[in-house]
Structure 1
Amino acid sequence: MKTKIYYESQTNWTKDDYYYLHRYLHRMLFYYEKYSQEIRMLNIEKMSAETKVLMY
């Protein structure tokens, strides 16, 4: 099983990588009904500080 992008190490990421993460999170939260199961399974503690900022 592939690691979800919001749990990946963000070492050496480019601005495009961060933009993709931002868009993924936005889409996931905007289409809550479609992604509700994934959202319920999120583990904030496993996320990097940068991802947590985007989530909040």
Structure 2
Amino acid sequence: MPQGNSHIGCNVTECRHHAKTVQQCSLSHIEVVKHGATATTKESTDCGSFERA
């Protein structure tokens, strides 16, 4: 089981980097990406580190 990073909360259990036993990401850092030139809402951003489990 991957160990969670207490600084990165995550509830996307479909991600390869989800810690499984806690609602955290197992990566030491993540990349947040935007969909366009300017991000104006949280819906215009995503976790670029996501990988399907």
Please give the range of the TM-score, normalised by the shorter of the 2 chains.
under 0.3
Give the alignment's TM-score, normalised by structure 1: 0.25
Higher strand share: 2
Q: Larger Rg: 1 or 2? A: 2
Give the alignment's TM-score, normalised by structure 2: 0.26
Higher helix share: 1
